Amino acid sequence: MANIWDPEQVVSEKLAKELVERQFPDLSPVTVTTLGEGYDNTVYLVNDCYVFRFPRRQIAVNLLNTEKGLLPKLAGTLPLQIAEPIYFGEPVEKVYPWPFMGYKLVRGNLPGVLTEEKRVESAVVLAKFLRALHDFPVDQAKALGVPPDMLGRLDIGKRKTALLERIDQMEALNLYGNVHNLRRYVEGTGPVALSEQQCLVHGDMHIRNLIVDGHHMVTGVIDWGDVHIGDPAVDLSIIYSFLPKRGWNLFFEHYGRVDDSTKALAKWKAAFTTVSLLMYGHDIGDQEIVEACSQSLDLILEK
């Protein structure tokens, strides 16, 4: 079956250099280094100071425009660094059809495989970050062009079949040792009512969108392409995919009370996202992603 991360267009290092130099001569001479690629964007480090993201799919263009309106307003208001856009590239006829953006670099590393102790150390700052984000005025976010959830990210009934198919693929490829317990959890989870609370959410909180420092503390959150007005469970999923069970209460002490239905939805979203990310890592041959996601799945399945 087709993968949701299959690109429609990929910007090469050579083309990225040409586009940036053509539109932002103040950055010349431009050096370009590949940082990575996600479902929606190809990402390059420019002059060791800026991150440029080039959409890989048409759907990513609207997401980029949402970031353009919102992130400058959020920058400096949250207890973690975020990627603030400062360069706004335009399409070039017959060369590249979509806008692209350059951001201040959030320095650090992706978390990868971490000890439980290191994960727990970030529980408080993650809680304070999400509390501040979810308290951002919804009316202001809407005025800045932030959309509602149009993808049914928490629709268990709609997404369960796709998740089970990916779990079957994982088992066939021998990608995860605890696949039977994972399938049992997914099969035993039915639809859960959404919260009446709607708030500004990052929309894609997972281990590839966190930045850690040299001490493995979370210091930044990147890739805001899925930001929307929605259920807080979408973001609270990071509790289950990043923190061990003994870090959950510490998180909630600083974030605030969360009802059982929201917790159940958050755990489901964590499983769905992590399985998809693990299969993506396998598809592109990145064993580090596979190993990190396997550790996240172990955390999700803790009882």
Over residues 59-98, the pLDDT tens digits come to 788 888 889 899 999 988 999 999 899 999 999 998 999 9
In this predicted structure, the answer to whether residue 190 has a pLDDT above a threshold of 90 is no
143 and 45 assigned to the same domain: no
| Phi, psi torsion values for 92, nearest 5 degrees | -125, 120
Nearest to 99 by CA among 56, 55, 38: 55
| 38 and 163 assigned to the same domain | no
Say which range, 3-12, 99-108, 200-209, has the weakest mean pLDDT: 3-12
Query: Residues of 167-196 as b/e, b for ≥16 C-beta within 10 angstroms?
Result: bebbeeeebbeebeebbebbeebeebebbe
Instruction: Assess if residue 172 is contained within a domain.
Output: yes
248 in the same domain as 211: yes
Mean of the pLDDT values across residues 241-265?
96
pLDDT at 6 over 80: no
What's the number of CA atoms in the CB half-sphere (13 Å) around residue 264? 15
- The verdict on 250 and 148 lying in the same domain is yes
- Measured distance CA(76)–CA(247) in Å, rounded: 26
Q: Please, which residues bridge with residue 229 across strands?
A: 148, 200
Mean pLDDT of 265-277: 97
d(CA 159, CA 169) in angstroms, rounded, equals 16
Which tens digit of pLDDT belongs to each residue from 129-147? 999 999 999 999 999 999 9
Locus of tokens 């208001």: 77
Full domain range(s) for residue 99: 13-104
Domain boundary among 83, 104, 125: 104
Q: pTM for this structure?
A: 0.89
Domain count within the chain: 2
State the chain's mean pLDDT as an integer.
Answer: 93
- The half-sphere exposure of 236 on its side-chain side, counting CA atoms within 13 A, is 28
In this structure, are 257 and 290 located in the same domain?
A: yes
Pairing of strands 41-46, 50-55: antiparallel
End position of a domain, from candidates 104, 129, 154: 104
180 falls within a domain: yes
pLDDT, position 266 = 96
Q: At residue 176, does pLDDT exceed 80?
A: yes
83 and 187, same structural domain?
A: no
pLDDT at 2 over 70: no
Q: Who has greater pLDDT, 295 or 196?
A: 295
Residue 135 in domain: yes
Which tens digits make up the pLDDT trace of 201-223?
A: 999 999 999 999 999 999 999 98
Q: Is 4 contained in some domain?
A: no
Phi, psi of 212 (to 5 degrees): -120, 155
Tell me: pLDDT of 1 over 60. no
Same domain, 92 and 236: no
Statement to judge: residues 158 and 189 lie in one domain: yes
* pLDDT at residue 102 in the model: 96
Q: Look up the CATH number of the domain holding residue 186.
A: 3.90.1200.10
- Residue 4's pLDDT band, with cuts at 50, 70 and 90, is low
Q: Write the pLDDT tens digit of every residue in 221-247.
A: 998 989 999 999 999 999 999 999 999
Q: Hey, which residues does 33 pair with through a beta bridge? A: 45
31/94 same-domain check: yes
Within a domain: 111: no
Look at residue 3 and tell me whether its pLDDT is greater than 80.
no
Specify the pLDDT at position 46.
97
Q: Taking 60 as the threshold, does the pLDDT of residue 249 lie above it?
A: yes
Cis amide prior to 99 (ω within 30 degrees): no
pLDDT for position 230: 96
**Same domain (yes/no): 141, 276:** yes
Kindly indicate the confidence band of residue 58, based on its pLDDT and cuts at 50, 70 and 90: confident
**162 shares its domain with 280:** yes
